[in-house]
Amino acid sequence: MPKHNNDRLQGTLDLLVLKILDRSGAQHGYAIAQRIHQATSDSLRIEEGSLYPALQRMTHEKWLKAQWGTTDSGRKARFYTITAAGRRQLDEEERRWLTLTDAVNKALRFA
């Protein structure tokens, strides 16, 4: 049975969320998921069952700060912002991602 396209996303969600919040400022969960979807030309869809536990974990790790606010449509939602610790983690995640993708590219060229 072929793997689902989003299986490749496992382990990169932190990187994507931290990068979006670093560039865009405070966002609620649905907006983060939509931004990932849009930025990847509809290639990646983040399910609520993956996103919200990740946001909660990253908040617990102090990479994100959460506070209640109101969306443009008037709904109450938690808005997330990246912290200084989150920016340090983002740097580390980006470094790891580049190392991994470089290694995979080399393996694909020379395997």
Tokens standing for residue 91: 């740097």
Q: Please tell me which residue, 42 or 85, carries the higher pLDDT value.
A: 85
Confidence of residue 111 (pLDDT cuts 50, 70, 90): confident
Q: Is the pLDDT of residue 56 over 50?
A: yes
With contact defined as beta carbons under 8 Å apart, do 83 and 65 qualify?
yes
- Taking only the tens place, the pLDDT of each residue in 76-91 is 999 999 999 999 999 9
| 64: enclosing H helix or E strand | strand 64-70
What local confidence, expressed as pLDDT, does residue 1 receive?
Answer: 46
Q: Is the pLDDT of residue 2 over 50?
A: no
In angstroms, what CA-CA distances link 18 with 1, 87, 107? 32, 7, 28
Lowest mean pLDDT among 20-34, 35-49, 81-95: 35-49
Q: Is the pLDDT of residue 53 over 80?
A: yes
Question: Where do the domains of the chain lie?
Answer: 5-110
- State whether CATH 1.10.10.10 applies to domain 5-110: yes
Q: Is the pLDDT of residue 9 over 70?
A: no
Strand ranges of the sheet holding 64-70, from the earlier edge strand across to the other edge: 27-28, 76-82, 64-70
Task: Return the SS3 of 84.
Answer: helix
Task: Return the SS3 of 43.
Answer: coil
Please, what's the largest Cα pairwise distance for the chain?
Answer: 54
pTM value is 0.87
What is the percentage of the chain residues whose pLDDT exceeds 70? 90
